[in-house]
């Protein structure tokens, strides 16, 4: 009896893929651009740019409203993109995909539409210390408005959630548990399936911020089992102004609209209105049609590359970075877990040099990184840091890019030593 083996996922060729990203074909201060800021926003491949250009050149019309050919083509492309994004995250019912402007709007939509009707005085909301402000501030506002209680899962010193404390917090019977899939500062990949299962056993609804997961690894929201999942298009090779909220159909159908106006209604009378079906109930007004179409093209691009291959490539890069940086840049301080537990993000500090100064000097050498608090001020407070520098990777990055980062960081040390 033989066991059927699954064919290995072909490895990515980042040098070849670089040609798909027109923006990379340029020099910065006389040096080839080394883009290491994909966690802030991804660069856009030619198929995405072309899809948006084609819409404006050939199909520019409003969706759902015209019975002429341009409008019908625009509507087909707009709704077709919804199907493509659904496939990317393991969703069969594309009507569970709501277009938003970004993950931030998606999370605010949940807090406004679900939260204000289900959270009351004394109810417990469990979050984590590593959350992006987008998955923190909406719940703060809701808790203040409803006199609810916020509780937080702490992290260990190496940036891993304290699951033992999570277990204790679940005994409080929270109404809602919200956490990030992958930390945008530490890169920590959280055990989302296990955390979702435990939260549901405690009777909580589960919201996941997937902004740093969807572009970088396989995501199947049905397998995870959560109730809501949010991510931004611009971090997933799509355009800015595009975002996604996935929610279970029964929850979305029971929720009231987030915004009022055109397209989210079935009938309007002077004193009452009837809402449209999902997802259009949450998509008031003329949408960013080209952004949705571009995000659909980005979903196709990611799926064609293979999410397993993307994850393997970025894991190799982060392992290389975590090895070479402390060896070649004496004194550098790295934050976060081991390569096996993190996505393609490496945050660090150079002792005696502010991260903003580090980033500015690196720019002289064509190396683009992020510096600041990365919209995670409470996490920085927990680690007793005012700011960090962050390098983050994409499909087009190579170990040579990390070597360029290392060489530039040495120049930072030389400059500030003098």
State the SS3 of 186-251.
CCEECCHHHHHHHHHHCCCEEEEECCCCCCCCCCCHHHHCCCEEEEECCCCCCCCCCEEEEECHHH
Q: Could you say which of 375, 377, 406, 407 is catalytic?
A: 375
Q: What are phi and psi of 119, to 5 degrees?
A: -100, 130
**119 burial type by CB count under 10 A (0-12 exposed, 13-18 middle, 19+ buried):** buried
- The stretches of 306-398 forming alpha helices (DSSP H) are 307-328, 355-364, 377-382
Q: How is residue 115 annotated by DSSP?
A: I
Question: Which residues, at least 6 apart from 236, have a Cβ–Cβ distance to it below 8 Å?
Answer: 42, 214, 215, 295, 298, 299, 302
Select from 68, 91, 64, 58 the least CA-distant residue to 78.
Answer: 64
Contact status, residue 298 vs residue 382, Cβ threshold 8 Å: no
Backbone angles phi, psi at 305, to 5 degrees: -70, -35
**Residue 334 to residues 325, 365, 403: CA-CA distances in angstroms?**
9, 21, 16
What CA–CA distance (Å, rounded) separates 347 from 322? 10
> Which residues lie below 8 Å from residue 34, measured CB to CB, with a gap of 6+?
365, 366, 367, 368, 401, 404, 405
Contacts of 134 (CB under 8 A, 6+ apart): 102, 103, 104, 107, 209, 211, 375
Count CB-CB contacts under 10 A for residue 146: 17
Does residue 375 carry a catalytic annotation? yes
Residue 169, token pair as written in the block: 């917090």
Query: What positions carry a catalytic annotation?
Result: 375
């Amino acid at each position: 009896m033989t066991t059927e083996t699954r064919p290995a996922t072909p490895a990515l060729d980042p040098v070849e893929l670089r040609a798909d990203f027109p923006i990379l074909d340029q020099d910065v201060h006389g040096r080839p651009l080394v883009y290491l800021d994909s966690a802030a926003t991804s660069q856009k491949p030619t198929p995405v740019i072309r899809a948006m250009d084609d819409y404006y050149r050939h199909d520019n019309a409003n969706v759902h409203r015209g019975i002429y050919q341009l409008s019908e083509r625009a509507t087909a492309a707009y709704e077709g993109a919804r199907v493509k994004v659904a496939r990317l995250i393991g969703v069969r019912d594309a009507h569970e995909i709501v277009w938003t402007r970004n993950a931030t709007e998606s999370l605010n939509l949940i807090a406004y539409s679900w939260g204000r009707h289900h959270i009351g005085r004394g109810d417990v909301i469990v979050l984590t210390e590593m959350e992006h402000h987008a998955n923190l501030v909406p719940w703060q506002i809701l808790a203040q408005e409803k006199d609810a209680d916020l509780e937080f899962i702490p992290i260990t010193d190496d940036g891993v959630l304290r699951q033992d404390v999570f277990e204790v917090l679940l005994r409080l019977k929270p109404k809602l548990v919200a956490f990030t899939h992958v930390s945008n500062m530490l890169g920590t990949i959280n055990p989302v399936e296990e955390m979702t299962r435990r939260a549901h056993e405690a009777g909580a609804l589960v919201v996941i911020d997937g902004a740093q997961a969807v572009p970088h690894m396989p995501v199947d929201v049905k397998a995870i089992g959560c109730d809501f999942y949010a991510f931004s298009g611009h971090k997933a090779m799509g355009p800015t102004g595009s975002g996604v909220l996935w929610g279970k159909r029964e929850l979305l159908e029971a929720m009231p609209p987030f915004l009022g106006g055109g397209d989210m209604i079935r009938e309007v009378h002077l004193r009452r209105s009837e809402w449209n079906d999902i997802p259009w109930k949450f998509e008031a007004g003329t949408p960013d049609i080209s952004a949705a179409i571009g995000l659909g093209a980005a979903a196709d691009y990611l799926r064609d590359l293979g999410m397993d291959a993307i994850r393997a490539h970025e894991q190799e890069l982060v392992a290389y970075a975590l090895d070479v940086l402390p060896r070649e840049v004496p004194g550098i301080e790295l934050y976060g877990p081991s390569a096996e537990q993190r996505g393609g993000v490496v945050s660090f500090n150079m002792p005696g040099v502010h991260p903003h100064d580090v980033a500015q000097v690196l720019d002289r050498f064509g190396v683009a990184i992020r510096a600041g608090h990365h919209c995670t001020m409470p996490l920085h407070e927990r680690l007793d840091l005012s700011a960090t520098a962050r390098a983050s990777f994409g499909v087009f990055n190579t170990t040579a890019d990390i070597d360029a980062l290392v060489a530039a960081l040495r120049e930072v040390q030389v400059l500030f030593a003098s």
